[in-house]
Structure 1
Amino acid sequence: MELDSIKKVYLIGIGGIGMSGLARYFHKRGCQVSGYDRTRTALTDSLVEENISISFIDDTSELVSAWADKENILVIYTPAIPRESRILNYFKDGGYILKKRSEVLGIISRGMFTIAVAGTHGKTTTSTMVAHILKHTGYDCTAFLGGISSNFNTNVLFGENNVMVVEADEYDRSFLTLHPDIAIVTSMDADHLDIYGTDDQVKESFRLFASQLKEGGKLIHKKGLALTGGLTYSASEQAESYAHNVRVENGQFFFDFSGNGNAISDIAMPLPGLHNIENAVAAIQAALYLEIPAEDIKTAIADFRGVKRRFEYVVRAEKSVYIDDYAHHPEELRACISAVKTLYPDKTLTVIFQPHLYSRTRDFAPGFAEALGMADELILLDIYPARELPIEGVTSRIILDEVEGGLKMLCSMEECLHYISIRKPELLLTVGAGDIDTMVGPLKEMMSHA
Structure 2
Amino acid sequence: MMFKGIYKVYFLGIGGIGMSALARWFRHEGFPVAGYDKTPSPLTEELEKEGMVISFLDSTVEIPFDFTTNPEEVLVVWTPAIPKDSVLLNFFQAHYTLKKRSEVLGMITKEFHTIAVAGTHGKTSTSSLVAHLLKSAGKPVAAFLGGITQNYNSNLILPGKSKEPTLVVVEADEFDRSFLRLFPNEAVVTSADPDHLDIYGDEETILAGFRDFIKLLDKKGKLYIQTHAWYRLGENLGIAAGIREYGLRSSGIHAENIIAKPGVFLFDYIGPKMQIKGLELRIPGFHNVENALAAIAIAVDHGATEDQIRAGVKSFRGVKRRFEIHSAVPGHIYIDDYAHHPEEIKACLSSVRAMYPAQRLTVIFQPHLFTRTRDFAPGFSESLSLADEVVLLDIYPARELPISGVTSEMLVDGIKAKKKTLISKAQVMDYLKESRPEVLVTMGAGDIDRLVPGIAEWMNLRTKPEEA
Q: CA deviation at 1:443?
A: 0.6
- Match of residue 411 from structure 1: 423
Which residue of 389, 399, 407 maps to 1:395?
407
2 CA distance for matches of 1:61 and 1:308?
35
Q: CA deviation at 1:251?
A: 5.3
Deviates more, 1:294-303 or 1:340-349: 294-303
1 CA distance for matches of 2:263 and 2:459?
20
- Match of residue 60 from structure 1: 60
Which residue of 170, 176, 184 maps to 2:174?
170
Q: CA deviation at 1:131?
A: 0.3
Gaps of 5+ in 1: none
2 CA distance for matches of 1:231 and 1:258?
16
Gaps of 5+ in 2: 463-468
Partner amino acid for 2:268? D
> Is this contact kept in 2: 1:380–1:396, CA < 8 A?
yes
SS in 1 for 2:155: strand
- Match of residue 71 from structure 1: 72
- Match of residue 333 from structure 1: 345
- Match of residue 19 from structure 1: 19
Q: CA deviation at 1:422?
A: 2.8
Q: CA deviation at 1:405?
A: 3.5
1 CA distance for matches of 2:287 and 2:246?
9
Change in Cα spacing, 1:249 to 1:381, as seen in structure 2 (3 Å) is closer
1 CA distance for matches of 2:13 and 2:256?
43
- Match of residue 83 from structure 1: 84
- Match of residue 3 from structure 1: 3
Partner amino acid for 1:240? G
> Is this contact kept in 2: 1:27–1:33, CA < 8 A?
yes
Deviates more, 1:325-334 or 1:282-291: 282-291
Which residue of 438, 443, 448 maps to 2:450?
438
Q: CA deviation at 1:416?
A: 1.5
Confirm whether residue 181 of structure 1 aligns to residue 193 of structure 2. Answer: no
Alignment of 1:300-379 (within 5 A): 300-379=312-391
Which residue of 203, 226, 237 maps to 1:222?
226
Which residue of 181, 203, 208 maps to 1:204?
208
Q: TM-score scaled by structure 1?
A: 0.97
> Is this contact kept in 2: 1:231–1:240, CA < 8 A?
no
Partner amino acid for 1:72? E
SS in 1 for 2:115: strand
Deviates more, 1:61-70 or 1:294-303: 61-70
Kindly provide the CA deviation profile for residues 124-169 of structure 1, in whole angstroms up to 9, marking residues without a partner as x: 0000000001111111200000100010000001114421000110
- Match of residue 125 from structure 2: 125
Kindly provide the CA deviation profile for residues 248-270 of structure 1, in whole angstroms up to 9, marking residues without a partner as x: 35752111111223211111111
Instruction: Report the identity percentage.
Output: 49
Change in Cα spacing, 1:251 to 1:67, as seen in structure 2 (3 Å) is closer
> Is this contact kept in 2: 1:233–1:281, CA < 8 A?
no
Confirm whether residue 156 of structure 1 aligns to residue 160 of structure 2. Answer: no
Kindly provide the CA deviation profile for residues 92-150 of structure 1, in whole angstroms up to 9, marking residues without a partner as x: 011x1111111001111122110000000001000000000111111120000010001
1 CA distance for matches of 2:275 and 2:26?
40
Partner amino acid for 1:44? T
> Is this contact kept in 2: 1:320–1:447, CA < 8 A?
yes
Deviates more, 1:379-388 or 1:77-86: 77-86
- Match of residue 466 from structure 2: none
Q: CA deviation at 1:88?
A: 0.7
- Match of residue 295 from structure 1: 307
Change in Cα spacing, 1:346 to 1:106, as seen in structure 2 (3 Å) is same
2 CA distance for matches of 1:252 and 1:56?
41
Partner amino acid for 2:47? L
- Match of residue 142 from structure 2: 142
- Match of residue 242 from structure 1: 254
Q: CA deviation at 1:401?
A: 2.4
Change in Cα spacing, 1:384 to 1:284, as seen in structure 2 (3 Å) is same
Kindly provide the CA deviation profile for residues 411-435 of structure 1, in whole angstroms up to 9, marking residues without a partner as x: 1011122111232212110000000
Change in Cα spacing, 1:4 to 1:424, as seen in structure 2 (3 Å) is farther
- Match of residue 32 from structure 1: 32
Q: TM-score scaled by structure 2?
A: 0.93
Confirm whether residue 426 of structure 1 aligns to residue 435 of structure 2. Answer: no
2 CA distance for matches of 1:179 and 1:238?
28
